[in-house]
Structure 1
Amino acid sequence: MYKASSRHPDFINTMKECSSSPCWMHEVDPGYFGYWSRQETIVFLKDLLERERVGSKALENIRHAADLGVAELMLEAELNQALICILVRKQIAKKGAIARACPKTNEARLDLSFEQAVASATSDLTELCLTIEAAILNVLEAGLNSLLVKILRVHWKQIEQLKILAQGVLPHSRPASADLPADDRSHQRDDAKNPAVTIA
């Protein structure tokens, strides 16, 4: 029988390194396994943030073209968009990158009719959902993957509500944010007022 003391020191060190494989796996870039690399994920998140801001602007256009009842509904949806932007910016920061601050501009709003604004927002959100669905298949990180799924659910619910609005009916349900983490909802109003706020 071989004793441990008779083993070569290098062999013992190798066995110790192998025993800590979970730590080693955590350090491996997901690109090694065929998923997006960290850098590719950061590029996606930055693009997602910009598109979420576009979505927020599209909802704002609806609010300004709508009557009071719909305008109130859209304000809630805009606040949900602000929350999503906060969560995406946090993911970017977690990966050691810096998200571009939302510029404060005085650009004129598009002069759209209510129907045009709803159609434009529906189109933007549908394309965004398809992008997120494709991204979920390429992201290895469980936490980020879970967040993307929750954001996707919120957007599909928004699209359902917009389709109802397009038919001239006011949805009975309020814009959905139940799937998003609750600990950040207290900040969404501040972020909507100050979209350039930096999230640590």
Structure 2
Amino acid sequence: MIAQGVEAGGHQGTHRDVPDTDCSGVGLLSLVAQVREAVGIPVVAAGGIMRGGQIAAVLTAGADAAQLGTAFLAAHESGAHSLHKRALTDPLYARTELTRAFSGRPARALVNRFLREHGPYAPAAYPDVHHLTAPLRKAAAKAGDAQGMALWAGQGHRMARELPAGQLVELLAAELEAAR
């Protein structure tokens, strides 16, 4: 079972999206502990994990494994747009928010102009909002305007490292070993 904390980037793993409810969710460490007590199957922790020490923390909290997403966005093999990769560590994009602005579903993204201007008004209307905004996002990417793109990222995005994926895995394993 995947236990996805609110720290996770991109679309939230939820089947419930009620517009007038709080989308703040539960933090990963608390969620892992709660899920571990409730289920008798393996638990994989996901959400904002960027370092080996964080992997050690979720394993200590009861997870059987960790799943990393944003940590690999800046990897050389990632298919993310180059503007998206650069935005991960750009001080201009210091924080993330949950929003429906780009797709109509709750998703965590770097705060940019598009999110600020449209996030507060975006309805829970997936996939309609996605289809409506897709041409705008594509045009922004083509024009080199990261302020108009969906820049999915978890809360730990500022710790992204531009490495080949294999080197990143080796580094994470070494950090995990050091943390243990």
Larger gyration radius, structure 1 or structure 2: 1
Instruction: Please tell me the TM-score bracket, short chain as reference.
Output: under 0.3
TM (norm. structure 2) is 0.26
Scaled by the length of structure 1, the TM-score of the pair is: 0.24
